[in-house]
């Protein structure tokens, strides 16, 4: 997967959540890298779903 992945996460919510963990800042490239990881996770889960002849991606596919 390349860098041209649709944004799947809400940047403001990520920053907001990180602030609850302590006095941290979020680098500009962090959200993009996190988005790529989420896309990889979704692709993997969809692959597992298909391999198990199902049409519904569920928690057990993560």
Distance, CA of 38 to CA of 23 (rounded, Å): 24
56 within domain boundaries: yes
10 within domain boundaries: no
Cα–Cα–Cα angle for 33, 39, 42, nearest 5°? 145
58 within domain boundaries: yes
**What are the structure tokens assigned to 52, written together?**
């198990």
Q: How far is CA 48 from the centre of its chain?
A: 17
Q: What is the pTM of this model?
A: 0.84
15 within domain boundaries: no
pLDDT band at 3 (very low <50, low <70, confident <90, very high): low
33 within domain boundaries: yes
Give alpha helix (H) positions in 1-62.
Answer: 11-20, 28-51
Q: Tell me what pLDDT residue 2 has.
A: 53
34 within domain boundaries: yes
pLDDT in tens, 16-58: 999 999 999 999 999 999 999 999 999 999 999 999 999 999 9
Show the domain range for 36: 28-62
In the chain, how many domains are there? Answer: 1
Q: Tell me what pLDDT residue 16 has.
A: 96
39 within domain boundaries: yes
Q: Tell me what pLDDT residue 4 has.
A: 79
Q: Tell me what pLDDT residue 47 has.
A: 98
């Amino acid at each position: 997967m390349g860098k041209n992945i649709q944004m799947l996460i809400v940047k403001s919510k990520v920053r907001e959540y990180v602030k609850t963990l302590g006095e941290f800042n979020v680098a500009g490239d962090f959200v993009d890298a996190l988005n790529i990881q989420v896309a990889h996770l979704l692709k993997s889960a969809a692959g597992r779903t298909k391999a198990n002849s199902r049409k519904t991606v569920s928690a057990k596919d993560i």
